[in-house]
Amino acid sequence: MGTLYAAEGHVGPCEVKVPASHLTGDAEARARFHREVETLRSLRHPHLVRVLAAGEERGHCWYALEPVSAPDLGTRLDRVNALPFPEVEQLASQLLDALGAAHEAGLVHGDVRPQNILLAKGGVKLTNFGLSLVPPGAHGYQAPEQRRWGRAVTQSDLHSLGRVLHEALTGGAPETQPLPRGVPRHLRRLLRALLAEAIPDRPDSAVSARRLLAQRAPLGPLTVGFAALLAVMLYLLLRAA
């Protein structure tokens, strides 16, 4: 769907992405590309790779990205197969924040997959926005409406994120690999919502999905009673000492 080059320009070291020419072959597609990339340039978010410049040369559209020296999530999963639950929860939180910023600006990523998630030292970085250029069936992380009709909306990004998170937890796809025992209830609830087949059954925004992630189960009566008993025992031990 494009070629990535290491480059040096007036913005300094960068990576230049050149989409495949057939994806920006007509005037309407090129105009849409330039509108979306200009919006992307205006975004400043700790979990989004910055777009530094963009343009067109000899009929080829291009945009320059800040260089990020970090492995991608796909490479990490190839090595370890699955990640610890707390790490997946952190991934979910940071990626929902990044998608929320993009969606608020009117952008749909359209290509959320492990290879476009960089594991930088300061947290994840989402890169390689599809910019309306990802064809239907390009990869298995696409939402049903993308695979069938090439249509991507904000909830499409959320579904793709659900597939990424499921793979991070299990090493496989939702259709073939069930969640292991011990996955926290709030993570299960989030994944169930993100992976819904129909668009209306998914969260209506990244912010709504973030709320689901934050809704941990309240302490039940038995848990509260046990905690109170421990507190009393600790108090008595301290008095005896």
94 and 36 housed in the same domain? no
What does the alpha-carbon distance between residue 38 and residue 54 come to, in Å, rounded to a whole number?
Answer: 8
The predicted pLDDT at position 219 comes to 45
What are the tens digits of pLDDT across the range 5-30? Answer: 787 877 778 889 888 776 677 788 88
The predicted pLDDT at position 20 comes to 73
Indicate the range of 71-80, 123-132, 182-191 predicted with least confidence: 123-132
Could you tell me whether strands 2-9 and 12-19 are parallel, antiparallel, or unpaired per DSSP bridges? antiparallel
The predicted pLDDT at position 5 comes to 76
The predicted pLDDT at position 94 comes to 98
| Domain containing residue 97 | 73-214
86 and 200 housed in the same domain? yes
The DSSP string of 177-235 is: -PPPTT--HHHHHHHHHHT-SSGGGS-SSHHHHHHHHH-PPPPPHHHHHHHHHHHHHHH
What is the rounded average pLDDT of the residues 131-144? 78
Catalytic residue among 111, 157, 201, 204: 111
Domain count, the chain: 2
What is the rounded average pLDDT of the residues 48-54? 93
51 and 94 housed in the same domain? no
Share of the chain above pLDDT 70, in %: 85
What is the rounded average pLDDT of the residues 73-97? 97
Catalytic residue status for 111: yes
The predicted pLDDT at position 29 comes to 80
Q: Who wins on pLDDT, 234 or 7?
A: 7
Among 20, 46, 65, residue at a domain's last position? 65
What does the alpha-carbon distance between residue 157 and residue 126 come to, in Å, rounded to a whole number?
Answer: 12
The predicted pLDDT at position 100 comes to 98
| Tokens 């496989």, residue located | 172
Among 22, 40, 65, residue at a domain's last position? 65
184 and 135 housed in the same domain? yes
Q: Who wins on pLDDT, 66 or 233?
A: 66
